[in-house]
């Protein structure tokens, strides 16, 4: 017997403990079918969990009149459902240029900053986004093409930090469209979703259909299953990484981490990579611009190269080593300035010795 759409959502909420009693949920709504269906889905389980629901809409100002029409639609949608509306407009193109980001990266930055600020200001305990099974599979393929590891291939989690929830992560886009048709519910269509300049759109409209027609009709389910398997394994690896990191840790503060060189040398390469990534994250607060090659350089520098005092990484991260320890530090100043100062100090010392 085929499960009803709302039953799938209810099962997902239960399986991943997405909601707790009396949660106050901020729903990210673009006006597209996924986010509109997300609101209706949460309203369907509102009584069971005694939810308080609000709607958040970010106008990225990328499509001029179309973006404004989306905002007006979402505001009206919230009003018709008697839900609180939170809206904001941000010039994403300008933000992307100022911060040297792609449009996609800039859009995500301003969007999630807006969600966090709104949630904090109004006391929302959960932030719901409309990611679907299709979105998860597309991300897996994107990361596969980029050469990501198992974490990248584990896709989109149903819940992150016990705060961001994805109740639609087990449903397909076609199921959402059928659900909205049955409900006679209108939604907006984003014209940029067909722009092939974006890798995700190429995967959605070209690669996935070809994989389905020529290789595996069930490719979406297969890749979704792969991501679920890897996510469970990542949960295990995260626990083991924490254990080994704490075992090797000598001391730490907000700007530096010192690890035992001897204990680190005993780790299997798979866990060594992860412990180094965790150490960088501790001082950098993210892993942006840190790739597999950087971790390989760290390993070579720390264990295979007898000479050298330090190794520089993106984000003003510098790795130091001595006989007993490895120190990962975030410098206050750009590394080039520090390097020039060190060179000047050595030059001054040599001049003094020559007098």
> What residue segments make up the domains of the chain, in order of their start?
5-227, 253-338
Residue 74 predicted with pLDDT over 50: yes
The residues, any chain, with a CB within 8 Å of residue 335's CB and separated by 6 or more, are 312, 316, 318
Structure confidence at residue 338 as a pLDDT band (50, 70, 90): low
Mean pLDDT computed over 319-328: 94
Tell me the fold of 5-227.
Answer: Rossmann fold (3.40.50)
Q: Is the pLDDT confidence value at 353 over 60?
A: no
| Euclidean distance between CA atoms 170 and 157, whole angstroms | 11
Q: How many CA atoms lie within 13 A of 293 on its CB side?
A: 5
CB 103 within 8 A of CB 91: no
How confident is the model at residue 96, as a pLDDT?
93
Three-class secondary structure of residue 51 per DSSP: coil
Count CA atoms closer than 13 A to 24's CA, side-chain side: 11
Q: What is the pLDDT of residue 85?
A: 98
Binding residues: 30-35
Cβ atoms within 10 A of the Cβ of 355, count? 4
- Whether the pLDDT of residue 344 is over 90: the answer is no
Q: Could you tell me which residues are annotated as the binding site for ATP?
A: 30-35
Average pLDDT value over all residues in the chain:
91
Residue-level pLDDT at 88? 95
180 CB contacts (<8 Å, ≥6 apart)? Answer: 33, 36, 37, 40, 187
Residue 348 has pLDDT above 50, yes or no: no
Q: What is the mean pLDDT of residues 39-63?
A: 96
Please check the confidence at residue 2 and state whether its pLDDT lies above 70.
Answer: no
pLDDT tens, residue by residue, 252-303: 988 999 999 999 999 999 999 999 999 999 999 989 889 999 999 999 999 9
Q: What CATH code is assigned to 253-338?
A: 3.30.465.60
């Amino acid at each position: 017997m085929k499960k009803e759409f709302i039953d799938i959502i209810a099962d997902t909420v239960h399986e991943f403990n997405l909601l707790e009693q009396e949660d106050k949920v901020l729903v990210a709504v673009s006006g597209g079918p996924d986010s509109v269906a997300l609101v209706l889905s949460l309203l369907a389980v509102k009584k069971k969990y005694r939810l308080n629901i609000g709607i958040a809409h970010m106008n990225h100002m990328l499509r001029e009149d179309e973006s404004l029409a989306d905002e007006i639609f979402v505001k009206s949608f919230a009003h018709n459902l008697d839900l609180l509306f939170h809206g904001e407009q941000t010039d994403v193109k300008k933000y992307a240029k100022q911060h040297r980001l792609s449009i996609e990266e800039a859009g995500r930055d301003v969007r999630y900053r807006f969600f966090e600020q709104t949630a904090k200001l109004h006391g929302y305990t959960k932030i719901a986004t409309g990611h679907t099974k299709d979105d998860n599979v597309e991300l897996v393929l994107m990361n596969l093409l980029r050469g990501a590891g198992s974490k990248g291939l584990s896709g989109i989690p149903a819940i992150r930090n016990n705060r961001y929830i994805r109740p639609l992560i087990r449903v397909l886009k076609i199921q959402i469209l059928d659900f909205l048709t049955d409900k006679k519910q209108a939604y907006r269509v984003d014209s940029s979703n067909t722009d092939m300049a974006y890798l995700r759109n190429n995967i959605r409209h070209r690669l996935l259909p070809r994989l389905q027609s020529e290789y595996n009709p069930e490719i979406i389910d297969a890749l979704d299953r792969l991501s679920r398997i890897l996510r469970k394994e990542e949960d295990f690896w995260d626990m083991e990484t924490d254990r080994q990191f704490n075992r090797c840790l000598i001391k730490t503060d907000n700007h530096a981490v010192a690890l035992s060189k001897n204990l680190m040398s005993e780790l299997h390469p798979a866990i060594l990579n992860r412990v180094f990534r965790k150490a960088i994250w501790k001082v950098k607060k993210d892993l942006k611009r840190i790739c597999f090659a950087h971790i390989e350089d760290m390993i070579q520098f720390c264990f295979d190269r007898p000479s050298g005092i330090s190794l520089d990484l993106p984000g003003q991260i510098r790795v130091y080593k001595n006989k007993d320890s490895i120190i990962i530090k975030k410098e206050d100043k750009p590394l080039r300035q520090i390097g020039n100062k060190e060179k000047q100090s050595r030059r001054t010392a040599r001049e003094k010795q020559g007098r």
